[in-house]
Amino acid sequence: MGQEDRGEPHITAVKAERMNNPDVPSPSSNYVHKARFFQERASRWLDASFTGEELRRLEALLSPFDLGEGQTILEPGCGGGRLTSWLAERVGETGQVVACDLSERLLRGARERVRANNVLWKLGPVEELELREGSLDRVLCFQSFPHFEDQAGILERFFRWTRPGGKLAILHLISRERVNAIHRSAGEAVGSDVLPSGQEITGLLTAAGWTPSLISDGAEEYAAMASKQDTT
């Protein structure tokens, strides 16, 4: 997708610039509790970086996702930005990463860490993000999908925001059982945040219009990938 076609992400850059402005509206009340939860644990995600082994696994898992120069990628729940810098390198100067997180502390930290000029930082719940229809090439939910309040609804929005031929991936480097157990034991704001089973995510993706292409609900990782069919 060419630079001139991106539209909305460039317009919203103005809002991203207002991140340092205390007048920026805070997330709606539903998300305040969750934002506080991640805010209080921000150092964990700000200090997180990938091991060589994790990077190799990521590269392998994302191979069918066809990341490339010039793409516009949405990364909801970017946390401390460890994946954001990796994505920013892949899309290069002609591409853009739209990195969104509801924790202000994490987003600030990520912004300081990444220092790439092809990242658009968006503070707030991804559910409240406004993007132009068909403006994304890829949506990558890395270790964030269980936290979205309305999973069916957000998959529909991702579908609308993605161009025909675009792709979505939901990825975790640990099993679904482990993800769900970690959330259950953390309790509080994330206690009921769950990663759907392979069968459930297939149903959710299909209902939202996506065509599932790879569902791996394994012992070492969880990957759900889908594409938006190009019907032209």
Ligand X SMILES: C[S@@+](CC[C@H](N)C(=O)[O-])C[C@H]1O[C@@H](n2cnc3c(N)ncnc32)[C@H](O)[C@@H]1O
Report the site for ligand X in 146-175 (rule: CB under 6 A).
Answer: 147-148
Tell whether residue 101 is a contact of ligand X (CB under 6 A). Answer: yes
Chain residues 61-90 in contact with ligand X, contact rule CB under 6 A: 76-80, 82-83
112: part of which helix (H) or strand (E)?
A: helix 104-114
Please report whether residue 104 would count as binding ligand X according to CB under 6 A.
Answer: no
Structure tokens belonging to residue 81: 């930005």
* C-beta neighbour count of 26 within 10 angstroms: 13
Q: Which is nearer to ligand X, 182 or 207 (CB)?
A: 182
When asked if residue 97 is in the footprint of ligand X (CB under 6 A), the reply is no
- Kindly tell me which of 45 and 158 has the beta carbon lying closer to ligand X: 45
Site for ligand X in 184-203 (CB under 6 A): none
Burial of residue 118 (CB within 10 Å: 0-12, 13-18, 19+) is middle
**What residues pair up with 139 in beta bridges, in sequence order?**
74, 168
Nearer to ligand X, 45 or 210 (CB): 45
Shortest Å distance, C-beta 231 to ligand X? 30
* Chain residue whose CB lies nearest ligand X: 79
The token duo for 160 is 């609308």
188 in Cβ contact with 151 (< 8 Å): no
E strands, the chain, in order: 72-76, 96-101, 119-123, 136-142, 162-172, 211-217, 222-227
Closest C-alpha to 136, from 96, 90, 83, 81: 96
Least distance (Å) between residue 76 CB and ligand X: 5
d(CA 71, CA 25): 29
Task: With contacts defined by CB under 6 A, name the span among 3-11, 51-59, 143-151, 158-166 that binds ligand X.
Answer: 143-151
Residues 11-50 binding ligand X (CB under 6 A) are: 34, 38, 45, 48
| Count of residues near ligand X by CB under 6 A | 24
The verdict on 142 binding ligand X (CB under 6 A) reads yes
Within 13 Å of residue 169, how many CA atoms lie on the same side as its CB?
23
102 binds ligand X (CB under 6 A): yes
Choose between 1 and 111: whose C-beta lies nearer to ligand X.
111
Which residue stretch of 3-11, 57-65, 139-147, 201-209 sits at the interface with ligand X (rule: CB under 6 A)?
Answer: 139-147
CB atoms closer than 10 angstroms to residue 59: 11
Q: Which residues bind ligand X (CB under 6 A)?
A: 34, 38, 45, 48, 76-80, 82-83, 100-103, 106, 125-127, 142-144, 147-148
